[in-house]
Structure 1
Amino acid sequence: MRNPHNEPLSSDISGGKPAGTSANEAQPERKCVLSGRLDARGELVRLALSPDGDVLPDALARAPGRGAWIGVNEADLAAAVANGKLRGALARAFKGAPLTIPADLAEKTRAALTRALLDRLGIELRAGNMVLGTEKIAQAARSGAVTWLAHACDAGTDGPNKLAQAWRVGEEAEGSGLKGTILPLDRAALSVALGRDNVVHLALIDAAAAQRVGVPLQRLLHFLGSDEDLTAAAPAVCDSIDTKGV
């Protein structure tokens, strides 16, 4: 990614906290160039320029140079690309720098965000922070070791319900409604990303790992327009998944 018109590097991605700001306070906000709405940085998607001037999703929000943030969902981004609204917004954000907006930017953004989540899950598996397999997860959950529980969107209901019950027992939280997360990923995508057969359920046993996974997951859910619990909508979400090129 490049730095148009000598804009200061990382001017919109530093996210540094002012002196005296505690780690528990809300994360920095960014303004969506399309809606003008302020949202938490972790929910917005950053766009940046490639060396050739192509506008591309910066899924990890780390590319150097000035970027532009979008907080709209996939359908709205596709519409903004088609009707030229995004071009006008980015022309202002990038100070008139020459730019090319791919017609399939919305699809590229979904793929980049999905890849960021899958990559993070793979990292946590290799680091030893993840448990796979129904029986192993149930055992870890009942022992109180699980900090985050998730399921493929095509997992059905029986397995997730049983594992959620085991998790509540381990957390001494029966009756609390504590349950796992339905991911916007099917078992095929999870299996390929994690290098295992038929990955339907997964759990993290490290609180910091759960926080690290939560960042790309929330960003993807926000972009898909699925910030709320996906349990009821899981079949529809699963049907809409396209992991080609991911």
Structure 2
Amino acid sequence: MRNPPNERPKLRLKHPSAAEERVKAAMPTRPAKPDKDGPERKCVLTGGKTDRAALIRLVLSPEGEVLPDVRAKAPGRGAWIGVDRDALQRALDSGKLKSALFRAFRRRDLTVAADLADQIEKQLERAALDRLGLEARAGTIVTGGERIDAAARTGKAALLLHAADAGEDGNRKLDQALRVGNDAEGSDLKGLVIAAPRTILSSALGRENVVHVAVTDQGAARRVGEALSRWHRFIGFGSGERPCETRPQGSIAAAASPDAAATAANEGLTTVHE
């Protein structure tokens, strides 16, 4: 039946097929305009610019005290630093840090605690431990030598880490399993020794005698890897070192009772299959 002269025919909407959706998703989009508030920040000590994920944010309390904000969540103006602990301590002792913060915050009635480096280290460690704990509760963490070995050999270990006091034989065995699972035999691919001994790792995860950990999800591996990298970079820790249980670690272990351990955690690096 023909439509009346002044009546438009009704159009049927055609829903895109799954194949069309995939093509659309693969098409390039217009580049976003540069964001002046984007991820890149300037270190107030060196003047260098880099991604904010590699920097540490400092903020002011209402009383004018300089405090670390390693998660970059606090409101208000912030100042960013990108140096390690030793360099920060030198800048603090020489007065260079305070002068830089005068300029960054545009006020002179501020105070910088002598233990600022300790505060930052403790926050970075807590952030790393918390991140691994969150991933553990999400079900992407594997512990136990046999389970890790099986996951690594089948290519399911996106991240492998060893406690600072793990035995070299155990490390070598799991490192070899990691290489097998990634078709990388003969390479130097291996797990990462982290700056936490087994007591801290166990308390953080709320499990007993955790010496090795594997993460089986790529996203989780990336997140914990970033948090661990920030911590290690600040304290100057290199894989293979064996630190004692530092004061920040000891306080975390004490807080990680069976109840509190559910909110704590640990973290690592060495992502593969990227």
Q: TM-score range by the shorter chain?
A: 0.7 to 0.9
2:79 is matched by which residue type in structure 1?
A
Cα distance in 1 for partners of 2:104, 2:125 equals 25
**Greater shift after overlay, 199-208 or 28-37?**
28-37
Q: Which residue of 2 aligns with 1:230?
A: 239
Instruction: Find out whether 1:199 has 2:210 as its counterpart.
Output: yes
Instruction: Find out whether 1:184 has 2:189 as its counterpart.
Output: no
Q: Which residue of 1 aligns with 2:61?
A: 50
Instruction: Find out whether 1:65 has 2:76 as its counterpart.
Output: yes
| Alpha-carbon distance, 1:213 to partner | 0.6
Identity across matched positions, percent: 51
Cα distance in 2 for partners of 1:93, 1:245 equals 32
Q: Which residue of 1 aligns with 2:43?
A: 32
Instruction: Find out whether 1:239 has 2:244 as its counterpart.
Output: yes
1:37-72 Cα shifts (integer Å, max 9, x gaps)? 223322211111223322111111222211111111
Q: Which residue of 2 aligns with 1:125?
A: 136
Report the 3-state secondary structure (helix = DSSP H, G, I; strand = E; otherwise coil) of the residue aligned with 2:244: helix
1:184–1:241 CA contact under 8 A, matched in 2: no
Count of aligned pairs: 218
2:239 is matched by which residue type in structure 1?
L
Instruction: Find out whether 1:173 has 2:184 as its counterpart.
Output: yes
Task: Give the alignment of 1:100-179 within 5 angstroms.
Answer: 100-179=111-190
Which structure has the larger Rg over C-alpha atoms? 2
| Alpha-carbon distance, 1:187 to partner | 1.2
1:29 is matched by which residue type in structure 2?
E
User: Structure 1's 240 and 89: CA in aligned 2 closer, same or farther, altered over 3 A?
Assistant: farther
1:177 is matched by which residue type in structure 2?
D
Report the 3-state secondary structure (helix = DSSP H, G, I; strand = E; otherwise coil) of the residue aligned with 1:131: strand
1:144–1:171 CA contact under 8 A, matched in 2: yes
Q: Which residue of 1 aligns with 2:3?
A: none
Could you list the runs of 5+ residues in structure 1 that have no partner in the other structure? Answer: 1-18, 22-26
Q: Which residue of 1 aligns with 2:266?
A: none
2:95 is matched by which residue type in structure 1?
G
Report the 3-state secondary structure (helix = DSSP H, G, I; strand = E; otherwise coil) of the residue aligned with 1:39: strand
| Alpha-carbon distance, 1:107 to partner | 0.5
1:60-92 Cα shifts (integer Å, max 9, x gaps)? 122221111111111121222222211111111
2:175–2:190 CA contact under 8 A, matched in 1: yes
Pick one of 85, 91, 98 that aligns with 1:87: 98
2:129–2:204 CA contact under 8 A, matched in 1: yes
Cα distance in 2 for partners of 1:125, 1:221 equals 21
1:189-226 Cα shifts (integer Å, max 9, x gaps)? 11111111121100100000011112211111221123
Report the 3-state secondary structure (helix = DSSP H, G, I; strand = E; otherwise coil) of the residue aligned with 2:73: coil
2:244 is matched by which residue type in structure 1?
D
| Alpha-carbon distance, 1:30 to partner | 2.1
User: Structure 1's 159 and 188: CA in aligned 2 closer, same or farther, altered over 3 A?
Assistant: same
